[in-house]
Structure 1
C-alpha cells in the first residue's frame, strides 16, 4: 500500500514538472516568433516596387527601359524623340548633362549629382558607354536607396490626379511661365515657353534654355506697372506683362499676353495726339476740367484769347481760380460786386455740367466773347472761348443795312411785295400795307385777300395766272380795280433765285379832264376808259 501510494505521488509530481517545463518552452517559443524580424518579400514582389529607373539608348534611340523609366517618359509633355523628352527632364536638374553624355568615351562612365530637387532629395545620374553607340543611363534617389517606402494607394492616386491636372493647366495656359535661379539660369519652363524656344531655334531644344524676354530693354516698357517686355519671332513683335514671385533662391516668372492692351494704348495715344494737333490749330480757346474741376487740357488759342500766363495754366488750376484770374485781367464782364460775380460763375459751372450752356460776354475792352460750356463723360466739363467781335460787328452792319433798305422800300410810292419760289412772303413795303391794309404770309393768302376787296375780272385772272404759273406766263403786266375802286397797274419781275417781285402802281387819274366852264356837262369818257382798262 505504501509503495503504491509513493509511486502515485512521484508520478503526479513528475507530470506537473513536465507540464510546467513544456508551458515555459511554448511561451518562450511564441515570444521568439513575435520578436523575430519580418520575412522579406519574394524577389519578384520587391523588384516590382523598388525597380530602378534605367534607360538604354543607341545613337539617341531608346531600345529598352525599365517600367519606372517608361512611366517618366510618358509623362513628359514635350513632343519629339525619347532622348529629347529625357533631356528636358534632366536638363534643369543636372547642369551640362547633355553635353557630357554626348561626349562620353566608350567603356567609360560618369556620375552626376543633381543641383536641386524637391525637399532634401538630390538625384544621382549614372551613365555608362557600353559600346556600339549604346548608352546606359540610371537615375536614383540616394535618400531612398535600400529602403522600401510603402505609399497608401488612394493617397498616391489622388496625388497623381492632382499632379496631372496641374500639369495640364500649366501646359495649356497661353502665358509664358518659367523658373530661374539666382544667376538667371532657367531651371524649368512650361510647354508654351518650350514651344516658343523651338520656334526661334528651328526645333532645337538645348539646356539651359535661352531667355525669351528682356525686362531691362528700355523700349519694352520696364517703367510700366506691371513691367512689360516684348518678344520678336519671325518679324512679329508680341508684348507681355510680366509678374514675378520669389520662392527661396529661385524666382517664378509669369508673362501674360498684352498685345490687345498695347494696341489699345497705342490707338488711344495716336488719337490723343491727333486731337492735340487739331486743338492746336483751332482759333477757339479750349479748356477741359475734370470732375474735380482741375484743368486737364488747353490749347494755344486759349492763351491768345485770354492772355493767361502759360505757367499758370500748366499748374492745372481749378475752374474758379482760372475765372478769378480772368477777372483780374479784365477778360470777363464787369460785375456789380464780387458776390454777384461768384453767383454768376456758379450758375455758369452748374449749367455747363448739366447741359450745353452759351453766354455772350461783353468785355470792358470792347471785345465780345461767346463762352460755351458742355458736359463731358465722368463728370468733366469743357469750356469754349470764341472771339465773335468781328461777327457781332458784321451782324450790326447787316442789320443797319437791312433797316436802311426797309426805309428805302417804304419811301417808294409803288406798292411792292416779294415772294419766294414756294410762295412765301419775303418782304413788302409800307405802300403795300397802306394800299391793301394787310401783311400776308403767303401768296395764296394775298390772292384770297385781294379777291375779297376788289372786283375780279380779266385783269385779276391774268395777275393770278402770272403769279401761280409754274413756267413763263403769257403776260407779266396788266391792270386791276384797286380796293378804293381806282385803277391799279401791276407788273411782275423775276429776281435771282426764282423770287418774284410784284409792283402795284396807281396811274394818273383817268377822271381828270381839262377845266371847262361850270355850266358845261362832264364827258363820260373816263368811265369808258376805266372799263376798258379792267378788261385788259
Structure 2
C-alpha cells in the first residue's frame, strides 16, 4: 500500500493533535502530579495566598507573610496561618482537615463579601484570602498581637510567681500590693505579716543588704535587696545572702585568728609570690634578721632580701661572691621545690634553720627558726658523752651499763678488751642475751650468769650483787652489779692475776660431779 506525502502529513497532524488532547485531559485530572505556583510579580494585588506541600509552607505572598510573621515561634507555618484566620473563619481548620474537599470556599462571619478559597491537588494545598480582605486582615493581625501579648504576659507572670527570688510590690506608703509564691511561703512558714520594714529600704540606695530576724530562727538572716521605683510605688527583689554573710564572717574571724597566730609565732616567715617579691612577713622575722620594716614593706625580691642579709652578716659567708650569687638561685629553686633545708651558722654564734616551702601558683616561703639553743645543747650533750666515754676508757676494770630491758647502753675499752669485742662498735645496739653468750663462751660453766641476768631484769628495789667466776685461761673474774638510776644496772668486771695451771685444773668444775648434782 502506497501513501502519498499529503496523506502522511495529515495522519501526523492528527496524531499530534490527539496526543495533546490526551495529555491535557490527564494533566487536568492530576495524572502527572501538577504543581501549583505563585506568581506574585504578575499578580501583585492577589492578596494573602499560602501554598503548602503537605504541612510545609513552600510559597506565600507578601500579605500572607505579614499575617504570620508575628506568630509565636513554636508554631508551624500552617498553625500560624490558622491562628491568624480562625478569628474570622472558625470552620477553616475543620475544612482543611477534610482531604476529600478539593475545592471549597468559606465566608467570613463578619463580612460575607470576604471568603477563603481552598484548592487541593494531591499533596498540594492553596489557601487564598479573597474579596475585601482588609477587615479580615486587620482582625488576624490583632488576633496575633493579642495572642503574643497574652502569651508573654502569662510567661512573665509564671516567672515572677515561681522565681526562687523574693519579689513583691508595695505602694509609696509601704503597703504590700502583691508578692510572689516564694515571698508568700516564707511569710506563711514563719507566721509573719511582713518581712521588711519600709524604713529599711527607703532612700536613694536601690541596692542594699539588710538583716531580718524571722520568727523561729535563732540567728538573723541577711538579704540582698534591689528596688525599682515606678508610678504605683516600689518593686523589690531580694536574694537570701545569709550563707554568704556567714561565710564572710567565718573567713574574717579565721583571718584574724590566723593573723594573731602568725604574729605570735617564734619562727620567722617570709612569703614570696610568683614574681619573687615579698608579700608577707611576721614580726619574728624582724627580730631574727634585724631587717628594717620599711625595707620589707617595700616588697623586695628574694635576691634583694638575701643580699641585704649578707650585708648584715645574717647569712653564712661563702668563699667568693660569685658562689654567693649562685647560691641565691639555688635557694630560690630549692624553696620552690620544697627541698631547701639548711642550717645557717652565723658569725656571732647563732644558728638558724632555714626551710623552703612551696605554695600554689609559684609562690614559696622561707621559714627561719632559731636553733642556737638546740645546737648548743646537742654539742654539750655530745661533749658530755665523749667526756664520760673517755673517763670510762681510763678505768682498768671492764664497765658495762644495761637498761632494765636488757640493752647495752654503754661500755668502755677495758670491756671490749676483756671480752674481745669490736672497739668500733662500742655504741651500737647490743642486747644482754648476745653479751651473755660471749661471757659463757669465755668462762667455765657457772650459774652466776643466769643470776646476773635475773638481777639486771629485776624490777623494784635491788641491792648490789657480786660473785666470782673463772675464765678459760684460769684467771678469776670478780663480777659486781650495782643498780643505778632509771632501772639500769652497771656491771664491773675485775680480773685477778692468773693462777698456776694445776690450780686452774683443780678449781675447774668436774662434769661428773655436776651431773650427779642434777
**TM-score w.r.t. length of structure 2:** 0.59
Does the alignment pair 1:352 with 2:335?
Answer: yes
Q: 2:157 aligns with which of 152, 157, 167?
A: 167
Looking at structure 2, the residues matched to 246 and 340 of structure 1 have their Cα atoms a distance apart, in angstroms, of 72
Residues 468 and 310 of structure 1: CA distance in aligned 2, closer, same or farther (over 3 Å): closer
Structure 1, 236-245 or 423-432: larger mean CA deviation: 236-245
- 1:156 deviates by 4.8
Looking at structure 2, the residues matched to 293 and 423 of structure 1 have their Cα atoms a distance apart, in angstroms, of 56
Over residues 354-379 of structure 1, what are the superposed CA-to-partner deviations in whole Å (9 max), with x where a residue is unaligned?
A: 22531111223332111121223443
Looking at structure 2, the residues matched to 311 and 328 of structure 1 have their Cα atoms a distance apart, in angstroms, of 17
Structure 2 gap segments, 5+ residues each: 1-137, 423-428
Does the residue aligned with 1:462 lie in a helix, a strand or coil? helix
Please list, as runs of the form range in 1=range in 2, the aligned pairs for 1:307-322 lying within 5 A after superposition.
307-322=290-305
Does the alignment pair 1:263 with 2:251?
Answer: no
- 1:345 deviates by 2.3
The aligned counterpart of 1:210 is 198
Q: 2:209 aligns with which of 213, 216, 229?
A: 229
Does the alignment pair 1:273 with 2:256?
Answer: yes
Looking at structure 2, the residues matched to 299 and 323 of structure 1 have their Cα atoms a distance apart, in angstroms, of 17
Looking at structure 2, the residues matched to 269 and 434 of structure 1 have their Cα atoms a distance apart, in angstroms, of 70
Q: Say if 1:294 and 1:317, in contact at 8 Å, map to a contact too.
A: yes
Looking at structure 2, the residues matched to 405 and 329 of structure 1 have their Cα atoms a distance apart, in angstroms, of 40
- 1:384 deviates by 1.5
Q: 1:486 aligns with which of 461, 475, 484?
A: 475
The aligned counterpart of 1:424 is 407
Does the alignment pair 1:396 with 2:379?
Answer: yes
- 1:351 deviates by 1.8
Structure 1 gap segments, 5+ residues each: 1-147, 512-521
Residues 493 and 369 of structure 1: CA distance in aligned 2, closer, same or farther (over 3 Å): same
Residues 337 and 261 of structure 1: CA distance in aligned 2, closer, same or farther (over 3 Å): farther
The aligned counterpart of 1:140 is none
Please list, as runs of the form range in 1=range in 2, the aligned pairs for 1:117-196 lying within 5 A after superposition.
156=146, 159-177=149-167, 190-191=179-180, 192=182
The aligned counterpart of 2:438 is 449
Q: Say if 1:229 and 1:241, in contact at 8 Å, map to a contact too.
A: yes
Looking at structure 2, the residues matched to 204 and 211 of structure 1 have their Cα atoms a distance apart, in angstroms, of 13
Over residues 181-214 of structure 1, what are the superposed CA-to-partner deviations in whole Å (9 max), with x where a residue is unaligned?
A: 9x999998752567889999963799xx936447
Please list, as runs of the form range in 1=range in 2, the aligned pairs for 1:517-532 lying within 5 A after superposition.
528=506
Residues 466 and 204 of structure 1: CA distance in aligned 2, closer, same or farther (over 3 Å): closer
Does the residue aligned with 2:198 lie in a helix, a strand or coil? coil
Q: 1:305 aligns with which of 288, 297, 303?
A: 288
Over residues 100-141 of structure 1, what are the superposed CA-to-partner deviations in whole Å (9 max), with x where a residue is unaligned?
A: xxxxxxxxxxxxxxxxxxxxxxxxxxxxxxxxxxxxxxxxxx
Does the residue aligned with 2:348 lie in a helix, a strand or coil? coil
Report the number of matched residues: 365
Structure 1, 290-299 or 271-280: larger mean CA deviation: 290-299
Residues 417 and 184 of structure 1: CA distance in aligned 2, closer, same or farther (over 3 Å): farther
- 1:434 deviates by 0.8
Q: Say if 2:404 and 2:456, in contact at 8 Å, map to a contact too.
A: no
The aligned counterpart of 2:5 is none
Looking at structure 1, the residues matched to 495 and 195 of structure 2 have their Cα atoms a distance apart, in angstroms, of 110
Residues 508 and 390 of structure 1: CA distance in aligned 2, closer, same or farther (over 3 Å): same
Does the residue aligned with 1:492 lie in a helix, a strand or coil? strand
The aligned counterpart of 2:275 is 292
Looking at structure 2, the residues matched to 330 and 200 of structure 1 have their Cα atoms a distance apart, in angstroms, of 69
Does the residue aligned with 2:430 lie in a helix, a strand or coil? coil
